Amino acid sequence: MTTEAEETALRYRRAQSVTRAEEITEQEKRVRNLQYDKPCHKPRDSLFSWSSNFTNFTGLVNWGFLLLSIGGFRLFLENLLKYGLRVNPIEWVIVLTGYSEELGQNRQYPAVVLLIFCVVPTVLTLLIEKGIAVGILSQSIGITLQLSNIIFVITLPVIVLYFKGNDFSFVGTTTVCFVYLILFLKLWSYSQTNHWCRNAFKGKSSKNKLRRQSLSAPNWNALNNAEHEQTVEEEKSDAAVAAGFVKYPDNLTLKDLFYFMLAPTLCYELNFPRTARIRKRFLIKRLLEVIVGTHLVLGLLQQWMIPSLTSSIHTFSQMDAMKMTERLLKLAVPNHLIWLCFFYLCFHSFLNLLGELLHFADRNFYGDWWNANNIAIFWSSWNLPVHRWAVRHVYKPITERGHSRFVASLVVFCISALFHEYLVSVPLQMFRIWAFLGMMVQPPLAIISRFAEKTWGPRWGNIIVWSSLILGQPLAIMMYFHDYALVHFAVQQD
């Protein structure tokens, strides 16, 4: 064992050696500068080395973008020469309305009818909440009715498509399922939030009754505390009224409910943050982006995505690994381009357009998911409305009941997986589990990406995130399209 004096001497030698090394470096630099050979070299790292701390790669980013643009334009020309011009805006209106040419002269638009029917369960939710608030319905009966109404919303498209599936187009059914899923999430949030407010309202009322009963046998300390609490509550209530805040049950109106139904959020609040005015220039920009973006996405689907999928059926039927990989990589480019366009169109252009029209002030619809260093960060930042809903209405209620965070996270991923499967299997009218399995793979993939981030650095974690996005989505799409084609169409040769 070393004595205290030896440890002190050791630390002194270490400190002295560092100072001596610095002195030698500076002395060598001065001596080198005095040499007659005019030295031009000094200790430094290559720019591509991590130790160089060089970060300005703007030129390489521009080069990559230009190269991708040239490659994309070449693919566009190849597609145009092979398949011709397939973009037909008239068909967009047909498929969006759900019109089926098989019906002939008896034109029906079932998708439009179902979208209009959304008003019925929405108003029914308000009537049930009002019935509970005024005492017509008991708490248990009201909750049972709300759950039945919410389950009816999510199952209605399944039932209708089972009996009338041939009357719908694929885009029409997809739109219906997407809207009804949003309605399901919104009604869940509306009912649960009003349940929280109702319990808090009843709790305050019961406290006031207990205070009045205690006056017959006063406990002066408890009475003073009760009076203080009542004063604080009254001050909060007066401040809320002065600020124009709505209190439960005054929020149970059609105007408030339909504002929430149209607002770009899935989480209900009695008092949303509001903007003072509508920015006309900002509104016009978002409106133009929605119009141009919608045409761009639909055009890419018609011209690029559908032909690529159709030509891949025969390859997947043969189960040739090399050809399947080639088709997967070929489909990855248009699929990823459409996904990026859809992200910007939906989460930036459309939601900001709604927010501006409705004076909705919270415009934080997405985070910087493109910089995510692992899968978990990506899923918590790319779709913030759904993430907030999952945290507020699923994750926190589960953890507050004493369950672990792992259990709560697993439940959230299971619900998300079911939602993804719902949006694919119901419109296709065939039950497969590829989307469900794709979502359930995300937790172990998050562990792998986090391991890569900690072991090899954040850049490798980000590469895994981008790889899962670029390759995972087209793989699932090709599997669904292959199964759908085997059921409905004859296998086509490339």
User: Which amino acid, one-letter code, is at 358?
Assistant: L
What is the DSSP code string of 15-65?
HHHHHHHHHHHHHHHHHHHT-TT-----S---TTSGGG-----HHHHHHHH
Ordered DSSP codes for 444-466: HHHHHHHHHHHHH-HHHHHHHHH
Count other Cβ atoms within 10 Å, centred on residue 465. 27
Q: Is 79 exposed, middle or buried (0-12, 13-18, 19+ CB in 10 A)?
A: middle
Please pick, among 228, 387, 393, 420, the residue that the annotation labels catalytic: 420
The 3-state DSSP class for residue 360 equals: strand
- CA pair distance 265, 312, nearest whole angstrom: 38
Contact 420, 427 (CB under 8 A): no
Q: Does the annotation mark 482 as catalytic? A: no
Residue 274 DSSP one-character state: B
| Spatial distance between the Cα atoms of 475 and 325, rounded to a whole number of angstroms | 10
| Contact between 251 and 270 (Cβ < 8 Å) | yes
Taking each helix axis as running N to C, give the angle between helix 321-343 and helix 458-488, from 0 to 180 degrees, rounded to the nearest 10. Answer: 110
What kind and span of H or E run contains 123?
A: helix 119-134
Please state, in angstroms and rounded to a whole number, the distance separating the CA atoms of residues 336 and 297.
Answer: 11
Euclidean distance between CA atoms 152 and 174, whole angstroms: 18
State how far the alpha carbon of 310 is from the alpha carbons of 19, 153, 313, 342, 425, in Å: 71, 34, 6, 22, 19
Closest CA to 364 of 385, 344, 338, 334: 385
Is the CA virtual torsion 285, 174, 375, 267 positive or negative? Answer: positive
Q: What is the DSSP string of 172-232?
A: HHHHHHHHHHHHHHHHHHHHHHHHHHHHHHHHHHHHHHHHHHGGGS--HHHHHHHHHHHHH
Which neighbouring-strand residues pair with 360? 274
Question: Catalytic residue numbers?
Answer: 420
